[in-house]
Amino acid sequence: MLRAMSVWEQVFWHGGKFLGIEWHVWKVVGWVGNAVFTSRFLVQWYATEKHGRVTVPALFWWLSLGGALLLLAYAACYQHDSVFVAAYAFSWLPYLRNLFIHRRTEKARPTCGACGVMGQSGARFCAQCGASLAPGT
């Protein structure tokens, strides 16, 4: 006797595929890479709204790097598509460079000896307590 398919089976899980996609490890890597790479948009949007000006936090570059490397792995190891591989083969270089620049900039920021708050680059006095800032090392 034939069993009626549930709505779940009709819409989501049909013919052994979820949402029409045959899932395996490389599909998960590809989708996670896509999600990570796309999520950087939300991080940058949030940071810009929070600061009231365009700003790009370090997390944006980490998500860019992680997403690009996951998508490169998917393209090279599963898709074997030269166009897809070429798109991500070197895209990670500026992300890594920006992370190095961010790290160097953070290390150079002055720290308040009185309250421990990190000042902005070029600041001479602490915005929190008004004490003189020691230059970063």
pLDDT tens, position by position, 65-87: 999 999 999 999 999 989 989 99
**DSSP string for the chain:** -PPPPPHHHHHTEETTEETTB---HHHHHHHHHHHHHHHHHHHHHHHHHHHTS----HHHHHHHHHHHHHHHHHIIIII--HHHHHHHHTTHHHHHHHHHHHHHHHHHS-EETTT-PBPPTT--B-TTT-PBEEPP-
Q: pLDDT confidence of 137, banded at 50, 70, 90?
A: very low
Instruction: Quickly state the pLDDT bin for 4 (edges 50, 70, 90).
Output: low
Q: Which residue has the higher pLDDT, 131 or 50?
A: 50
pTM score of the predicted model:
0.70
> Which pLDDT belongs to residue 34?
94
